């Protein structure tokens, strides 16, 4: 166990720190805010403490997602004012102090009659809340999110883009780390498409962390997206049942249940359905040496039957200790029929051969995860906590494919093939986090994480012999790839925060041990390295409506399994993507300055940022015999300077506008195989959303997005724009909701890429098309109507 022993002293020091606590003669004040009419929680309300004598502000905080708030205060002579847009301001001047505690219990906020209608509209809209080192995008019941997966929800988050293939980028950069409830998860593994099993109704909020502190795992050069899942906390029984249908086929049913008592919180979600995801594709490979062209055009489907079950329980041992055990199981049955027509032309544009390549693919994908959490709160402050978590997850794929070719004209083509894939991925994460707010101004955080990734991909390709009609193994394309990665990290941060300004600094140390092995050919690659990742964040409140944030962090992007795995599907054997087992990690230094301000009815945020990345991973294409092979390679450095602004504007009580704009200029310097890849360019993206409140409790929502084209190391990618539309009707005071959504209304979400080289050119085109969804949901008990859609969205 050399990896553990290397950090034994760190764990000992950390254990000592966990037993340290600081107490002083302070008063702890707590309460929970709810709406007077609906009894629902009021999150992010402003709670301000004033000195009774001087009327000066002592302290200000905001309520949490569940409406609760808690803080400590040194001045016993205070009164409280609670305010939130759409509600009358509430003053609390009388209270009792018992054992240095003021327990206010449940506090009801009455609606402000002049603003009630406006609040009703706004409460449904997703909104962003700013914190010291992150932005929290609280997912509302946006109509366009009805019946869709986490990938589509992410595409509505400011700064985030999801392309037609499901690749996630943050401010135009890939290398984003996806977390679930602050931890790595098989559900966040983009390579397995598992994000599709998380649906819009399951998501509470998404934290956008463009410049993470040392507390977070250093992986992900572009930043971190942390998906926070809902966990109902209303006492008694509550839940929701929903049904969805759509064109193309998108049918599902879902059930959410929650039972809350003083000691236990039991939660469950069950879903099942069927969907078909068509995709149109085209490609053209041009050999500039002999001027021959291979053109292909086809359509493929991903037909899925899926089942999803989540069970969990919180056990409140006492007021200070909570134990949570949860598990998720999902099972998918895939059928992927496709048909692609190929045409081969000579230099004079004469047809040499034309044929159809059909694919029949069947796969089963079991996946599960289980998680144990223990949280201890200390008596002096509820934010003084010790949290231990252990997570295990598994994803498997048992897939077989049959490829048959039928010649339509010209030279006979016989390239029938069979493939078999047996993929298994097991991940284990162990975390220990300690937080101690030593005083109202000073706090520390310390922790450790150990991550294990164990993957095996057994892939076999068989070619059909033209004479004997017997399939034989193609040894050149067959192998078993094993991937074993272990990452141990420890961190410490310290923070100082006052009403006007705050400072947070930290250091994270990570050791990475990676071993890859091609068992059939005995090719192995071992990497072992230790890195330091400092971070600094600061904020300053200039005035009531204007604040500044600044930050620096160092990040790493470790090549993913599919970046390293040298064997890929042969669906189109003229356009092949393969991994590179010798790929090295990227390192990025990230600097950022952000302003947050309000102008009238508009709330805006703007950022200027700079990122410098070494060992940049780029996809490089080569061509031989009209076959284009694309492989990731480490190519030089990249410096990016950018500007981003986003905000929300409410010109009237029935209209809400949201917008996001991001522009960046980059400078690439690099060489690969004696060829220079030095160039510079720019790219930008924008989103504009509107929500319109119509009579009869009907809402209309429109969301438009644009992603500009940009230059790559060998060519360019074109831009595209698309529009989503949603209409919702509420019935029985919101207990029943009917939703109609249209994704990509004009079928304009098209991605095209070009490669221009001295000896060849390549063109690729992809389009998903228009999707219609119709959903009906009913909330019972103390729950509200929610929507459910299982499966994945790619």
Please tell me whether residues 668 and 687 are part of one structural domain: yes
The fraction of the chain above a pLDDT of 70, given in percent, is 83
DSSP category for residue 465: P
Q: Give the torsion through C-alpha atoms of 564, 458, 310, 194, to 10 deg.
A: 40
> What are the tens digits of pLDDT across the range 658-695?
888 999 999 999 988 788 889 999 999 998 888 888 88
Work out whether strand 575-577 and strand 627-634 pair parallel, antiparallel, or are unpaired: parallel
**Mean pLDDT score of the chain:** 82
pLDDT digits (tens, 9 = 90+) for 729-744: 878 766 788 888 898 9
Helix or strand holding residue 534 (H, E)? strand 523-543
CA nearest neighbour of 352 among 289, 284, 295, 285: 295
Q: What does residue 89 show for φ and ψ, rounded to 5 degrees?
A: -65, 135
Domain, as residue range, for 67: 2-112
CA-to-CA distance for 114 and 637, rounded, in angstroms?
56
Asked whether residue 361 falls in the same domain as residue 417, the answer is yes
> What does the pLDDT look like over 521-551, one tens digit per residue?
888 889 999 999 999 999 888 887 788 889 9
- The answer as to whether 167 is a domain residue is yes
pLDDT digits (tens, 9 = 90+) for 774-789: 988 887 764 443 333 3
The 3 state secondary structure assigned to 427-464 is EEEEEEEEEECCCCCEEEEEEEEEEEEEEEEEEEEEEE
| Residue range 216-230, pLDDT digits in tens | 888 876 778 888 877
The last residue of a domain, from among 183, 211, 229: 229
Give the model's pLDDT for residue 65: 66
Q: Tokens 């019972």 appear where?
A: 780
Asked if residue 790 belongs to a domain, the reply is: no
Rounded distance between C-alpha atoms, residue 662 and residue 170, angstroms: 10
Q: Mean pLDDT across the stretch 434-463?
A: 93
Highest mean pLDDT among 14-23, 41-50, 461-470: 461-470
Query: From CA 54, how far away is CA 57, in angstroms rounded?
Result: 9
Is the peptide bond preceding residue 248 cis, with omega within 30 degrees of 0? yes
Do residue 102 and residue 220 come from a single domain?
no
d(CA 752, CA 712): 12
Query: Contact 654/121 with Cβ under 8 angstroms?
Result: yes
Per-residue pLDDT reduced to its tens digit, 299-334: 998 899 999 888 888 888 988 898 988 888 989 999
Helix (H) or strand (E) holding 9: helix 8-18
Residue 183, pLDDT above cutoff 90: no
CATH code at 692? 2.40.170.20
**b/e 487-506 (16+ beta carbons within 10 angstroms → b):** bbbbbbbebebeeeebbbbb
Tell me how far apart the alpha carbons of residues 512 and 483 are, in angstroms, rounded to a whole number. 13
Which of 362, 254, 355 shows the shortest CA–CA distance to 308?
254
Q: Are residues 440 and 341 part of one domain?
A: yes
Phi and psi, residue 4, nearest 5°? -70, -45
Can the peptide bond before residue 200 be classed as cis, meaning omega within 30 degrees of 0? no
Longest dimension (CA), the chain: 99
Predicted local confidence at residue 1, as pLDDT:
41
- 605 within some domain: yes
Mean pLDDT of 204-218: 82
Do 528 and 620 reside in the same domain of the chain?
yes
In-domain check, residue 280: yes
166 and 139, same structural domain?
Answer: yes
Cα 594 to the chain's mean position, in Å?
22
Contacts of 695 (CB under 8 A, 6+ apart): none
Domain annotation covers residue 787: no
Query: Per residue in 248-267, pLDDT tens?
Result: 998 989 887 777 777 887 87
Residues 687 and 762 in one domain: yes
Question: Which pTM was predicted?
Answer: 0.72
> How many CB atoms lie under 10 A from the CB of residue 674?
5
Cβ–Cβ < 8 Å for 584, 637: no
State residue 211's pLDDT score.
78
Using alpha carbons only, give the angle 531, 563, 643 rounded to the nearest 5 degrees. Answer: 70
625-636 average pLDDT score? 90
Domain boundary among the residues 112, 141, 163 is at 112
According to the model, what pLDDT value does residue 15 have? 39
Task: Report pLDDT digits (tens) over 597-613.
Answer: 878 778 788 999 999 99
Residue 789 lies in a domain: no
The pair of structure tokens assigned to 147 is 């019946």
CB 219 within 8 A of CB 172: no
Contact residues for 573 (Cβ-Cβ < 8 A; gap 6+): 415, 417, 627
CATH of the domain at 223: 2.170.130.10
In a domain, 794, yes or no: no
Which of 761, 760, 791, 788 is closest to 775 using CA atoms? Answer: 788
Residue from 99, 74, 81, 73 nearest 33 by CA: 81
Instruction: Note whether 249 and 592 are within 8 A (CB).
Output: no
Are 128 and 94 within one domain?
no
Given 112, 132, 156, which residue is the final one in a domain? 112
The CATH number that applies at residue 47 is 2.60.40.10
User: From residue 551, how far is each of 134, 497, 518, 536 by CA, in Å?
Assistant: 10, 15, 42, 5
Token pair recorded at residue 585 = 């990690």
Q: For the chain, what is the domain count?
A: 3
Does residue 588 fall inside a structural domain? yes
Same domain, 289 and 381: yes
Question: In terms of domains, do 202 and 56 share one?
Answer: no
> Per-residue confidence at 22, pLDDT binned at 50, 70, 90?
very low
pLDDT beyond 80 at 86: no
Two tokens, residue 584: 């090295």
Mean pLDDT of 561-582: 83
What pLDDT, in 10s, does the model give residues 121-171?
333 445 566 666 777 777 765 555 554 566 667 767 777 767 545 567 776
- Residues 437, 553, single domain; the answer is yes
How are beta strands 760-767 and 750-756 bridged, if at all? antiparallel
- pLDDT above 90 covers a percentage of the chain that reads 38
Residues 191/168, Cβ–Cβ less than 8 Å? no
- 13-18 long-range contacts (CB < 8 A, ≥24 apart) are 14/432, 14/434, 14/446, 14/447, 14/448, 14/490, 17/434, 17/436, 17/444, 17/446, 18/386, 18/434, 18/446
Q: What is the DSSP string of 621-647?
A: EEEETTEEEEEEEE--EEEEEEEEEEE
Does 571 share its domain with 598?
A: yes
Q: Stretch 106-113: mean pLDDT, rounded?
A: 76
């Amino acid at each position: 166990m050399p990896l553990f022993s290397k950090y034994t002293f760190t764990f000992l020091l950390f254990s000592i720190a966990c037993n340290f606590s600081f107490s002083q003669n302070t008063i702890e004040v707590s309460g929970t805010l709810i709406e007077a009419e609906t009894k629902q929680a009021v999150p992010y309300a402003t709670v301000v403490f004033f000195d009774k004598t001087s009327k000066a502000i002592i302290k200000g905080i905001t309520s949490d997602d569940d409406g609760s708030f808690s803080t400590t205060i040194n001045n016993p002579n205070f009164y409280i004012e609670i305010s939130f847009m759409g509600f009358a301001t509430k003053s609390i001047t009388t209270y009792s102090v018992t054992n240095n505690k003021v327990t206010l219990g449940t506090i009801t906020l009455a609606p402000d009659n002049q603003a009630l209608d406006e609040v009703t509209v706004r409460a449904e809209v997703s909104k962003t809340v700013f914190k010291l080192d992150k932005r929290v995008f609280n997912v509302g019941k946006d109509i366009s999110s009805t019946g869709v997966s986490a990938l589509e929800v992410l595409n509505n988050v400011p700064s985030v883009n999801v392309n037609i293939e499901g690749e996630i980028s943050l401010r135009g950069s890939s290398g984003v780390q996806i977390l679930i409830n602050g931890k790595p998860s098989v559900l966040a593994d983009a390579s397995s498409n598992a994000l599709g099993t998380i649906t819009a109704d399951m998501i509470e909020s998404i934290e956008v962390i463009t410049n993470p502190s040392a507390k977070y795992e250093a992986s992900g050069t572009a930043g971190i997206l942390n998906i926070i899942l809902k966990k109902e906390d209303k006492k008694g029984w509550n839940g929701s049942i929903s049904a969805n249908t759509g064109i193309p086929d998108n049918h599902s049913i879902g059930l959410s249940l929650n039972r809350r008592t003083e000691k236990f919180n039991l939660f469950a979600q069950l879903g099942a359905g069927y969907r078909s995801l068509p995709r149109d594709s085209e490609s053209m490979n041009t050999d500039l040496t002999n001027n021959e062209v291979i053109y292909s055009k086809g359509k493929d489907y991903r037909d899925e039957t899926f089942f999803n079950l989540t069970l969990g329980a919180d056990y409140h041992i006492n007021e200070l200790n909570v134990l949570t055990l949860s598990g998720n199981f999902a099972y998918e049955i895939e059928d992927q029929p496709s048909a692609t027509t190929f045409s081969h032309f000579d230099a004079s544009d004469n047809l040499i051969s034309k044929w159809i390549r059909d694919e029949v693919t069947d796969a089963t994908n079991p996946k599960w995860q289980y998680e144990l959490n223990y949280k201890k709160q200390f008596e002096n402050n509820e934010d003084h906590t010790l949290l231990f978590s252990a997570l295990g997850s598994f994803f498997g794929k048992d897939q077989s494919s049959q490829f048959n070719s039928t010649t339509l004209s010209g030279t006979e083509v016989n390239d029938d093939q069979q493939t078999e894939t047996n993929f298994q991925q097991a991940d284990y994460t162990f975390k220990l986090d300690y937080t101690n707010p030593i005083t109202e101004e000073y706090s520390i955080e310390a922790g450790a994480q150990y991550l294990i990734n164990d993957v095996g991909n057994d892939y076999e390709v068989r070619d059909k012999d033209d004479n004997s009609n017997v399939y034989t193994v193609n040894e050149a394309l067959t192998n078993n790839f094993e991937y074993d990665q272990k990452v141990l990290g420890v961190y410490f941060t310290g923070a100082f925060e006052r009403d006007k300004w705050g400072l947070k600094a930290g250091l994270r140390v990570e050791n990475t041990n990676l071993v890859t092995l091609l068992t059939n050919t005995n090719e192995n690659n071992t990497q072992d390295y230790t890195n330091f990742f400092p971070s600094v964040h600061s904020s300053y409140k200039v005035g009531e409506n204007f604040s500044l944030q600044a930050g620096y962090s160092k990040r790493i992007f470790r090549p993913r399994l599919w970046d390293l795995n040298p064997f890929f599907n042969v669906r189109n054997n003229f356009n092949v993507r393969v991994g590179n087992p010798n790929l090295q990690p990227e390192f990025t230094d990230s600097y950022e300055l952000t302003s947050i301000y309000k102008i009238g009815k508009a709330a805006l945020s703007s950022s200027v940022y700079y990122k410098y990345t070494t060992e940049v991973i780029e996809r490089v294409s080569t061509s031989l015999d009209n076959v284009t092979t694309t492989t990731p390679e480490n190519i030089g450095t990249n410096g990016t300077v950018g500007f981003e602004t986003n905000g929300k504007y409410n010109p009237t009580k029935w209209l809400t506008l949201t917008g996001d704009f991001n522009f960046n200029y980059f400078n690439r310097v690099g060489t690969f195989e004696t060829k220079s890849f030095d160039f510079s360019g720019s790219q930008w993206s924008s989103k504009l959303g509107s929500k319109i409140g119509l009579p009869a409790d009907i809402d209309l929502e429109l969301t438009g997005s644009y992603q500009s084209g940009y230059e790559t190391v060998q060519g360019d990618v074109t831009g595209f724009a698309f529009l989503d539309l949603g209409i919702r009707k509420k019935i029985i005071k919101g207990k029943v909701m009917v939703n109609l959504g249209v994704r990509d209304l004009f079928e304009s979400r098209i991605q095209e890429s070009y490669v221009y080289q001295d000896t060849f050119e390549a063109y690729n085109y992809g389009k998903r098309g228009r999707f219609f969804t119709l959903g009906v949901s009913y909330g019972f008990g103390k729950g509200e109507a929610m929507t459910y859609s299982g499966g994945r969205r790619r």
